[in-house]
A and B are shown apart, each in its own frame.
Chain A
Amino acid sequence: QKEVEQDPGPLSVPEGAIVSLNCTYSNSAFQYFMWYRQYSRKGPELLMYTYSSGNKEDGRFTAQVDKSSKYISLFIRDSQPSDSATYLCAMSGVDSSYKLIFGSGTRLLVRP
């Protein structure tokens, strides 16, 4: 079993929909949680960064971390076709903050 599990999708939604992306993990030592967006043939781009549990909002994006359930989420409001990409969750522990453990990514398609 992988340390970080992520549904590969693809997830197809109409423009303007609210998108919910999720990851579960097994390592209780993880303290830093990130969401990256990756377009085809590009490197991952950091979208959201949170420490420990709680919510963080940035524009149309909201990241939630529930450490008791070992579950993290990314919500995208008013989704746009330009949001079509693969979304990767990543996490790390305090003692190894340099070593990100990634999920396999969820492919999102926002239909005009």
Chain B
Amino acid sequence: DTGVSQNPRHKITKRGQNVTFRCDPISEHNRLYWYRQTLGQGPEFLTYFQNEAQLEKSRLLSDRFSAERPKGSFSTLEIQRTEQGDSAMYLCASSFARGEGTNEKLFFGSGTQLSVL
């Protein structure tokens, strides 16, 4: 399977616990994105990486959220001190971008469904 891979598929945690999700993008893609989707809504942009550099973070990404992409390959998204409002599907996507302003096709993984009890 050469698509975007996300692990785990499901995560149930108690409020206040820390969780970490992993995303493996399509191998030749240089950009990686994190989006969040709640029930009945479309995905919302959280952050993105160009290779290993994190270039933009949405204001939705509070201080409890941190994302990394060491060596420009896989990425992790960590949520500290989880709250019930963090319950959502966390989607990772990747794309190949030749430069700014060029068209990009984002390919999404199947997501990690987080439930905070």
Give the interface of A toward B (CB within 8 A).
Answer: 4, 6, 8, 32, 34, 36, 41-46, 49, 51, 88, 90, 94-95, 97-105
Contact = CB atoms under 8 A, between A and B. Distances in A.
Given A90-B42, A98-B31, A102-B44, A46 B106 contact: yes
A95 B103 CA distance: 10
A27 B110 CA distance: 29
Contact of B101 (A45, A94, A102, A105): A94
Nearest to A4: B42
The 7 closest A-B pairs by CB, nearest first: A102-B42, A43-B108, A43-B110, A99-B45, A94-B101, A44-B108, A97-B104
A46 B109 CA distance: 11
Contacts of A8: 40
B100 interface: yes
Contact of B100 (A6, A41, A95): A95
